């Protein structure tokens, strides 16, 4: 499927997807249930921000990028709750300058609402910070029992191992 | 100068039946000063548990519930917690309360909705003394974060319909994040006026300067059900993310921000 250059609204949605997806993949790529597809196109280098996703380890995902890298980074195909997402970021001297959608969930109202309204902060942050790592997870109180299966536990394992 | 590439040192302990996670980066992450601050934070949480737990027979709260101790005779910390609870009750028109109706129709003191945030906020004071060090202290998904040296901490918000996924990511430099919902548990998340669990809202996340109020407001907004976002948007100094039962979301910004 040829990449499309999209209008601002959709690009925002995709940026949201890019960062959220990267974060989720970052954490849970070791879980086969959340990442059924292997990265389809590893076009980017390992130190591009969006591609800084170790495929088999729940690492904290700190990018080793020096910030001066230019090129395109194609993210893996990621299955999110409402479908599959794949994006490509164009990076010029370490900054994201464009994001193209290669694959997106179908554009029903539900997707638009969730993506466009939930994470505007995220979009700005993605562009500014050049990072899609997650440091901590906030959720409805998990107990010590539920913690074992939580995203936070995966982060903690990665940081204390 | 802390940078994004600086490693984060993590620690986990279980206190009050909750996983307590700490992330540190900067000058003191694994040295004896960090060890001492972590020990002090955990001690503060255990102290709060001894006083407020509804599961411990020897707690102050249990004594009040049994009628053996009058509220007026309780320690100063109890009154501080009850004061927060009273302000939250007023602000929500009674939807939030630490006096909850039990199955037998009587009301019993259950300050859980206030205590956790309050206790973690207090525990975080021990970490604020670590100079040149950024921290994020989380108790079961509610956290106090400080990033004065390096970039903002990046906080993922769980998807209530699938806690293995995130629904949003928020950069937090110096603030608290609390999430209330039923993804993991939520016995105290009922409308105190009816004793019922709201059905239209799945999860509420609140970002505020103090975890005491982030936690209280998240719980209160959740208890308000369909009015969660409307109410939260009027609260000064709060940013909110409401996830409705149908999966749609609403973000709120406090009226004092542009």
Lowest mean pLDDT segment, chosen from A15-29, B6-20, B145-159, B235-249: A15-29
Does the distance separating the beta carbons of B23 and A142 come in below 8 Å?
no
- State mean pLDDT over B166-193: 74
- Interface ipTM: 0.87
Which residues of chain A does B135 touch, with a Cβ-Cβ cutoff of 8 Å?
Answer: none
Query: Above 60 in pLDDT, residue B2?
Result: no
For the residues of B149-212, what is the DSSP string, one character each? Answer: SSSPEEEEEEETTEEEEEEEEEEESEEEEEEEESSS--TT-SBTTTTB--SSEEEEEEEES-HH
> Taking 80 as the threshold, does the pLDDT of residue A138 lie above it?
yes
> What local confidence, expressed as pLDDT, does residue A110 receive?
38
* Residue range A44-60, pLDDT digits in tens: 333 333 333 333 322 23
Domains and CATH numbers, chain B: 9-253 (3.10.520.10)
The beta strands (E) that lie in chain A are given as: 71-74, 78-80, 83-92, 95-103, 136-138
The reply to whether residue A81 touches residue B161, judged by beta carbons under 8 angstroms, is yes
Query: What is the SS3 assignment for B248?
Result: coil
Mean pLDDT confidence for B33-54: 96
The nearest CA of chain B is from the CA of A119 a distance in Å of 6
Please say if the pLDDT value at position B33 is more than 70.
yes
Does the beta-carbon distance from A81 to B251 stay under 8 Å? no
pLDDT tens-place string over residues A5-40: 444 444 444 444 444 434 433 333 333 233 333 333
Would you state the pLDDT for residue A43? Answer: 37
Question: Which residue would you say has higher pLDDT here, B213 or A82?
Answer: B213
Statement: residue B60 has pLDDT above 50: yes
Asked if residue A26 lies in contact with residue A46, where contact means CB atoms within 8 angstroms, the answer is no
Taking only the tens place, the pLDDT of each residue in B65-124 is 999 999 999 999 999 999 999 998 998 888 888 988 877 778 899 998 899 999 999 999
Average pLDDT value for residue range B9-38: 94
Q: Where are the domains of chain A?
A: 8-135
Contacts of B245 in chain A (CB under 8 A): none
The partner residue sitting opposite A156, judged by closest CB among B21, B152, B250, is: B21
């Amino acid at each position: 499927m040829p990449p499309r250059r999209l209008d601002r609204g959709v690009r925002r949605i995709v940026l949201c997807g890019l960062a959220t997806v990267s974060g989720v993949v970052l954490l849970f790529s070791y879980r086969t249930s959340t990442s059924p597809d292997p990265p389809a196109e590893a076009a980017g280098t390992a130190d591009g921000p969006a591609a800084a996703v170790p495929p088999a380890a729940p690492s904290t995902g700190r990018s080793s990028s020096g910030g001066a890298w230019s090129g395109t980074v194609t993210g893996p195909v990621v299955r999110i709750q409402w479908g599959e997402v794949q994006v490509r970021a164009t990076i010029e001297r370490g900054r994201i300058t464009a994001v193209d959608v290669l694959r997106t969930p179908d554009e029903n109202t539900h997707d638009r609402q969730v993506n466009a309204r939930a994470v505007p902060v995220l979009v700005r942050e993605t562009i500014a910070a050049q990072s899609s790592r997650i440091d901590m997870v906030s959720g409805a109180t998990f107990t010590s029992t539920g913690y074992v299966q939580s995203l936070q536990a995966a982060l903690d394992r990665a940081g204390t191992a | 100068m802390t940078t994004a590439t600086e490693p984060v040192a993590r620690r986990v302990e279980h206190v009050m039946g909750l996983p307590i996670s700490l992330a540190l980066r900067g000058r003191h992450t694994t040295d004896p000063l960090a060890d001492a601050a972590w020990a002090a934070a955990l001690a503060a949480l255990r102290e709060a548990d001894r006083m407020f737990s509804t599961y411990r027979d020897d707690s102050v709260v249990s004594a009040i519930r049994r009628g053996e101790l009058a509220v007026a005779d309780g320690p100063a910390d109890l009154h501080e917690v009850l004061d927060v609870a009273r302000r939250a009750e007023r602000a929500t028109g009674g939807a939030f309360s630490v006096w909850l109706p039990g199955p037998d129709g009587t009301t019993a003191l259950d300050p859980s909705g206030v205590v956790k945030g309050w206790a973690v906020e207090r525990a975080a004071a021990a970490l604020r003394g670590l100079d040149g060090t950024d921290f994020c202290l989380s108790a079961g998904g509610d956290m106090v974060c400080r990033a004065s040296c390096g970039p903002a901490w990046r906080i993922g918000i769980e998807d209530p319909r699938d806690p293995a996924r995130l629904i949003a990511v928020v950069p937090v430099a110096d603030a608290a994040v609390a999430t209330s919902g039923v993804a993991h548990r939520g016995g105290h998340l009922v409308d105190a006026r009816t004793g019922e669990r709201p059905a239209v809202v799945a999860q509420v996340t609140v970002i505020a300067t103090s975890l005491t109020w982030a936690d209280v407001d998240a719980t209160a907004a959740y208890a308000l059900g369909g009015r969660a976002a409307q109410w939260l948007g009027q609260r000064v100094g709060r940013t909110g993310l409401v996830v409705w039962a149908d999966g749609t979301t609403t973000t709120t910004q406090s009226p004092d921000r542009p």
